[in-house]
Amino acid sequence: MKPLLAPTAPTVCPEQPLLFRDLGPRQVVADFSGGTLSTDGGALLLREVDQRLGLSRAVAECFTDQRDARFVEHPLQPLVMQRLAGLALGYNDLNDHAQVRLDPLLAVVCDKADPLGQERGGRHRGSALAAPATLNRLELSNNKRTRAHKLPHDPAKLEACLLTLGVRCLAKHAREIVVDLDAMGHLLHGTQEGRHFNAYYDGYCYLPLYAFVGDVPLWAQLRTSDHGGAHGVVPALEKIVAAIRRRCKRARIILRGDSGFGHEEIMAWCEAQRREVYYCLGFGKNSVLLEKLAPALAAARARRCLTGAASARAFAAFEYRTQTSWSRARWVIGKAEVMAAGDNPRFVVTNLPAQGFKGDADRTRFQPQSLYENFYCARGEMENVLKQQTLDLAGDRLSTHYLASNQLRLWLATFAYLLMERVRAWGLAGTALANATVGTVRLKLLKVAAQVRVSVRRVYVQLSSAYPLAGLFRHCQRRLMGAAGASG
């Protein structure tokens, strides 16, 4: 007697259309015959910015390729660009590249000569880009010594690369450069190397040091959180200031930061330079400073009582020197603010001249109130930039075990931010997206449906006819191509 056969699954014909509810007299039918499509049509703009800035090439030169060239399918520069473009497009996790590697448009962005991956053999046929495992080896090669980890990077070169590319984005004939410093705690959720508990952030974290000029990143240094925000700032400033001086020879340099940077070693270094570096730094309150600010606080209380306003402010300026930690007396600006919730005194220490600089259009901009409200408080914009890097580019995804590979991830996220920032600066200046966040630029400019057709002669990308910002896209493309032609 023959055994009974198990019931088999019904045969599914790949050509069979998918039927949905009718739309009035019309049938609604779908199938998978649309060809090679991509959701990232705007990625072509990233390619133009990368070509002009030389970003992926410069970053790739910081790595050493120890692989046998006979078996290499993914050279260093396309690997680096795949990671950077992935971050810019929102594919923050390496696992995302298991699907992203099939996208021919991203392969074009990475300068892959075979965007469809048809020339590859075996199970990789049809995948032009590298798999997540290959990108993972790129990140871990400094920490693992196996036959598979042969792509180590030079941290000193990557540090210098970010500084060089960032400084190149500054106006060469600028008269004033304001360098914003900030330390941002990135919480850790594992047993990463170098983890320490930080009471301020109420958790285990890293405490990276960032330096920006406007929206342009110059420095991203991963540090452990067992030191304060000012730890290691002077060695970083020595490199940053020297690089700015080489680019902007006549610019005055002003250092701006919160009270975490109001330390003697930083201020003394600025004052000791042959061409003085100016600073405007927050400073923590103490009983002596509060006593000096008492008259201004009394005036603010009286003003609030007389006007009935929700808050009132008064400002004072005076010389101050600590008992032991400062080497000299310095100029301190005090803000006396009285609110319904209570007093809110704040202090700033600076060596900026109260009378301003010769040739300035506004010689009163460093008067106490203007310096605090218009100049010092403007540093809050850097915090918005850091939020973009963490929220839109996963700059805080430091989840590898090793400190060195997490530093590499921090650099890659910063390079990806620089790529997007140049799209805004070069392609979107004067448009509605000129000041948009990285996430908004990605959503409105890069996430465009496209059909990709590859032939012997060309790669033809057909963007969606229903894309509502086609005019803005064309404007950005013309700006980028015109700039590239002028620079070439």
Residue type at 215 in one-letter notation: D
- Residue 169 belongs to a domain with what CATH number? 3.90.350
* pLDDT tops 60 at residue 6: no
For range 283-300, the mean pLDDT: 94
Number of CB atoms found within 10 A of residue 325's CB: 9
* pLDDT tops 90 at residue 176: yes
Order of strands across the sheet with 450-454? 37-38, 450-454, 459-463
* Half-sphere exposure for 432 (CA within 13 Å, toward CB): 7
Q: How far apart are CA 120 and CA 387, in angstroms?
A: 40
**Which residue matches tokens 């109001």?**
262
- For residue range 65-90, what is the model confidence (pLDDT) as tens digits? 999 999 899 999 999 999 999 999 99
- Tell whether 260 and 355 lie within a shared domain: yes
* pLDDT tops 90 at residue 308: no
* Residue predicted with more confidence, 259 or 8: 259
For range 132-138, the mean pLDDT: 94
- Tell whether 238 and 332 lie within a shared domain: yes
**Are the C-beta atoms of residues 261 and 233 closer than 8 Å to each other?**
yes
* pLDDT tops 80 at residue 9: no
Query: What is the average pLDDT value for the chain, to the nearest integer?
Result: 92
pLDDT of residue 486: 47
- Tell whether 367 and 441 lie within a shared domain: no
- Tell whether 267 and 385 lie within a shared domain: yes
* pLDDT tops 50 at residue 448: yes
Burial-class residue 108 by CB neighbours within 10 Å (0-12, 13-18, 19+). buried
| Reported confidence tier of residue 126, pLDDT bands at 50, 70, 90 | confident
- For residue range 50-68, what is the model confidence (pLDDT) as tens digits? 999 999 999 999 999 999 9
The share of the chain scoring above pLDDT 90, in percent, equals: 84
- Tell whether 143 and 221 lie within a shared domain: no
- Tell whether 379 and 483 lie within a shared domain: no
Q: At what angle do helices 470-487 and 43-53 cross, to 10 degrees?
A: 20
* Half-sphere exposure for 21 (CA within 13 Å, toward CB): 1
- Tell whether 96 and 82 lie within a shared domain: yes
- For residue range 249-263, what is the model confidence (pLDDT) as tens digits? 999 999 999 999 999
* pLDDT tops 70 at residue 310: yes
- Tell whether 379 and 457 lie within a shared domain: no
pLDDT of residue 376: 96
* pLDDT tops 80 at residue 8: no
Q: What is the span of the domain harbouring residue 44?
A: 37-150+430-487
The total number of structural domains in the chain stands at: 2
Instruction: Write out the two tokens for 434.
Output: 């000129």
Choose the weakest-confidence range: 174-188, 207-221, 355-369.
355-369
pLDDT of residue 483: 60
CA dihedral angle for residue 254, residue 260, residue 265, residue 270, rounded to 10 degrees: 0
Residue 229 forms part of a structural domain: yes
- Tell whether 365 and 437 lie within a shared domain: no
* pLDDT tops 70 at residue 487: no
